[in-house]
Amino acid sequence: MPTKQVCPRCGQDWIHPYRFRADGTTFSLCTECDSLWWLGEAVEVARAKFLDDVVAERLGVEGSPWGGLVWADVIEPIPGHGG
Ligand SMILES: [Zn+2]
């Protein structure tokens, strides 16, 4: 069962359930170091992705991966999952 878990990369924050607004794809995110894990993946340093990289892939914007967007435009925390 999912439990509150400290980010294994930075150890500074819990990882929080998030999702992409566009299609509802869910993932776990450390808001401290921007590490991302897809839901169901083992939350390990070796498997950690970087939020910027994932956003760049999804949005396909060169230069700035966010293309002028901010977090709240692209992703949102999932309510009701603790945290
Ligand atoms: Zn972290």
Q: Which residue has the higher pLDDT, 19 or 64?
A: 19
C-alpha 35 to ligand 1 mean position (Å)? 6
Residue 1's pLDDT band, with cuts at 50, 70 and 90, is very low
From the number of C-beta atoms within 10 Å of its C-beta (0-12, 13-18, 19+), residue 57 rates as exposed
Residue 77's pLDDT band, with cuts at 50, 70 and 90, is very high
Measured CA to CA, the distance from residue 80 to residue 41 in angstroms comes to 20
C-alpha 29 to ligand 1 mean position (Å)? 8
Residue 56's pLDDT band, with cuts at 50, 70 and 90, is confident
The tens digit of pLDDT for each residue in 6-20 reads 999 999 999 999 999
C-alpha 17 to ligand 1 mean position (Å)? 13
Q: Residue range 24-39: average pLDDT?
A: 96
C-alpha 70 to ligand 1 mean position (Å)? 19
